[in-house]
Amino acid sequence: MIKGKKIILGISGGIAAYKMTNVASMLYKLGADVHVIMTKNACQFITPKTFEVLTKNKVYVDTFDETPDDAVNVPHISLGQTADCFLIAPATANIIAKLAHGIADDMLTTTVLPARCPMLICPSMNGYMLENQVVQENIEILAKRGYKIIESEYGNLACGYEGKGKLPKEEILVEHILNAVEYDHDMVGKKVMISAGPTEESLDPVRILTNHSSGKMGFALARVAAKRGADVTLVTGPVNLSTPLGVERVDIVSAEDMYNEITSRAPEKDIIIMAAAIADYTPVSVADNKIKKQDGDMSIPLKRTKDVLKGLGENKKEGQFICGFSMETENMLENSKAKLVKKNADMICANNLKVPGAGYKVDTNIITIIKKDSVRELPIMSKDEAAYEILSEIIG
């Protein structure tokens, strides 16, 4: 939840400074307590007054610009120490160099030093400046110290060049802040792989066998795991969903693709969650040309695909946690418990497609979490909330 969170926006002197008015406004509307600190150069592009009107908070530029109350609460210490997230954007080569080397000669750089919250920085400048080795080395230093580097984008730059260095869209910056403050970062260091969506099995060049999976549950798991700090790989069948921020996405089509992509990456993962609806059967052969209709009925010979989850269970490495899903329309508990044992999984998330509010297309789910010694029924909740509960159950 961002509501009530103290967010500091540190703005240095780049033309993209004007975009930060939208960022400040969007955060304010979400209920955040937004504090803006500007460098003197940033004030060449936009005035502090604009941010004061948008955030209803005093904007700091000069370290010595204190009101009587500030003398007690010393803003350059208290702001940083009580912040929940600190975003520096646009970050010029100059501010990056100062932060990398501990120089604290203005309000912004001085406030950064006592801050103990997630630090985000978005380098934004001319592409040639950005490529310069010293700038890259300074960015590297900040990354090593735990700063989250928000990559700038390619595009037309204010200097007339086309290249990398453009500040990303305001929505993306806000999304990064939401990621940083929405959840506790209790999955940092965990390598998580999640499968999602349907698979498609070709019959001929025009036809496929597939299912109704939307991929929403798997994507919710990937999104929430990334927000909790995990290193997430999402292997997905064909879906119409955008990749959650910070998630590595691998697109696949068939059950065989899914088997190959998941199995080859599995040994290095700490947690694997199989939320994909993978075809159990695939056509024995794929026709080279369109199959023409004939009189009467037809049947298609199918062969079994490999069970990815079962393979993972059989080759589970020490300390690895394997979670499967179970989609049923009858005898949900009994069938799902059997899958837990048969596939040697650590946990199965079961849901009944016939219950309203559960299943593929909807944004809610009703999950029963089954482990070897326990069964926990979750009430109806959004897929993001269900994802949070599932991940919490896994990390304990």
- State the residues that interact with ligand CTP by CB under 6 A: 255, 274, 276, 278, 280, 305, 307-309, 324-327, 339
- Report the C-alpha dihedral over residues 206, 211, 216, 218, rounded to 10 degrees: -100
- Range 59-62 contact pairs with CB under 8 angstroms and sequence separation of 24 or more: 59/35, 60/35, 60/36, 60/107, 60/111, 61/37, 61/106, 61/107, 62/106, 62/107
What tokens does 156 get? 């037309």
Smallest distance from ligand CTP to CB 306, Å: 6
Short-list 78, 85, 36, 83, CA closest to 57: 36
Contacts (Cβ under 8 Å, ≥6 apart) of 347: 321, 322, 323, 324, 340, 369, 370, 371, 393, 394
Smallest distance from ligand CTP to CB 353, Å: 10
Would you tell me the crossing angle of helices 48-55 and 20-29 to the nearest 10 degrees?
10
Q: For tokens 């059997």, what's the residue?
A: 338
Smallest distance from ligand CTP to CB 66, Å: 59
Q: Which is nearer to ligand CTP, 24 or 327 (CB)?
A: 327
Smallest distance from ligand CTP to CB 36, Å: 47
Report the C-alpha gap between 200 and 207 in whole angstroms. 9
Report the C-alpha gap between 28 and 277 in whole angstroms. 40
- Which of helix, strand or coil describes residue 81? helix
Short-list 147, 88, 157, CA closest to 123: 88
Short-list 373, 331, 385, CA closest to 353: 331
Q: What is the 3-state secondary structure (H, E, C) of 10-45?
A: EECCCHHHHHHHHHHHHHHHCCCEEEEEECCCHHHC
Q: Which is nearer to ligand CTP, 252 or 255 (CB)?
A: 255
Smallest distance from ligand CTP to CB 96, Å: 44
Q: Which is nearer to ligand CTP, 147 or 259 (CB)?
A: 259
Q: Which is nearer to ligand CTP, 95 or 274 (CB)?
A: 274
Residue 377, burial from CB neighbour count under 10 angstroms (0-12, 13-18, 19+): exposed
Q: Which is nearer to ligand CTP, 11 or 273 (CB)?
A: 273
Strand partners, 232: 192
Smallest distance from ligand CTP to CB 192, Å: 15
Backbone torsions φ then ψ of 70, nearest 5 degrees: -60, -30
The DSSP H or E segment spanning 377 is strand 375-377
The DSSP H or E segment spanning 193 is strand 191-196
Q: Which is nearer to ligand CTP, 215 or 324 (CB)?
A: 324
Q: Which is nearer to ligand CTP, 82 or 211 (CB)?
A: 211
Q: Which is nearer to ligand CTP, 51 or 325 (CB)?
A: 325
What tokens does 340 get? 């837990």
Smallest distance from ligand CTP to CB 223, Å: 18
Q: Of these residues, 43, 117, 122, 159, which one is catalytic?
A: 159
Q: Is 117 a catalytic residue?
A: no
Smallest distance from ligand CTP to CB 305, Å: 5
Q: Hey, which residues are catalytic here?
A: 159
